[in-house]
Amino acid sequence: MTDVVVARRCVVGEGPLWSVRDGLLYWLDIPEQRLRWLDPATGATEGRSLPDVVGSIGLRATGGLVAATRNGFAALQPATGELSYLHDPEPDRPEHYFNDGKVDPAGRFWAGTLNDGPPTATGTLWRLDADHGCHPMRRGVICPNGLGWSPDARTMYFTDSRRYTIFAFDFDAESGRIGNARVFASVTPPADPDGLCVDSEGCVYSAQWGGAQVVRYDPAGRVVGTIPVPTRLATSVALGGPDLRTLFITTASIGLDAAQLAADPAAGTVLAVTVDTPGVPEPMFAG
């Protein structure tokens, strides 16, 4: 059973990220341009306003966070909310913005862009290296979402929500190359696969926007469990806590009027449930 661990609502809560280094859960309220964090040991929460729309974050080895923003990749200092821009790979595409992203096992940060308007296959999945060079890794993306890697770093998962599909790729950790794209799992509308994380057994947890659930897939893409969510718009997931066995679930309240919010008290909150299999520590961006 899921519990509400942060009751203060987000419009679109996204990008949950557990930091072993800090003992904190970070997440975003994207439309509100706000970074938030929770100390589960005390229940205390804090937040900072951000000067740009941030779609995703990752840990940074030199301290703070790395972020994918409306205007490219940036370093983010949680204490102040300050952004220092590193690289904008699409300066000629002002209609594009970054969405979900994650750090790979070798310390590179991956994030995808999408069109700010009617869904079109014009987005790109980008890889930001430690030297701040950017590389387009997959084009023709409609809505880039959940990313993750298998514990052996040989498989990468990538979600295109508007294709209702989680893809798997062969992954070369040394070079950062991907290949052999294939369908890992398909989701039936009106649910969309959104953010994901991978546990230490190699199973994939996928938040299902519109589906009021989180689905767990085994490494072959078979459904091996579902976690009901007490609100329709689950956005993303992260394994954390002291033993990495707490599944944190972010949610959204966007589009709900006062009566709907009153009837859906979990909308926009952060939820948590204890699971049997722990996660793995999130890698840190090396740049």
Give the mean model confidence (pLDDT) for residues 50-76. Answer: 98
* CATH homologous superfamily for the domain 3-285: TolB, C-terminal domain (2.120.10.30)
Q: Which amino acid is at 241?
A: G
Query: What would the two tokens of residue 211 be?
Result: 């589906």
Q: Which amino acid is at 225?
A: G
Question: pLDDT grade, residue 162 (50/70/90)?
Answer: very high
The predicted pLDDT at position 1 comes to: 84
Q: Hey, what's the torsion of the CAs at 131, 132, 133, 136, to 10 degrees?
A: 130
Give the mean model confidence (pLDDT) for residues 196-215. Answer: 98
Tell me the percentage of the chain whose pLDDT exceeds 90.
99
pLDDT digits (tens, 9 = 90+) for 218-270: 999 999 999 999 999 999 999 999 999 999 999 999 999 999 999 999 999 99
DSSP reduced 3-state for 233: strand
Residues with Cβ within 8 Å of 258's Cβ and at least 6 positions away in sequence, in order, are: none
Four-residue CA torsion sign, 117, 122, 127, 133: negative
Give the mean model confidence (pLDDT) for residues 199-228. Answer: 98
State pTM to two decimals: 0.98
- HSE, CB side, 13 Å, CA atoms: give it for residue 45: 14
Distance CA 170, CA 168 (A): 7
Q: How many residues does the chain have?
A: 287
* Cis bond before residue 193 (omega within 30° of 0): no
Q: Which amino acid is at 128?
A: L
Question: pLDDT grade, residue 275 (50/70/90)?
Answer: very high
> 163: closest CA among 136, 133, 143?
143
pLDDT digits (tens, 9 = 90+) for 100-114: 999 999 999 999 999
pLDDT digits (tens, 9 = 90+) for 4-61: 999 999 999 999 999 999 999 999 999 999 999 999 999 999 999 999 999 999 999 9
Q: Which amino acid is at 206?
A: S
Q: Hey, what's the torsion of the CAs at 87, 92, 95, 99, to 10 degrees?
A: -20
- Write out the catalytic residue numbers: 194
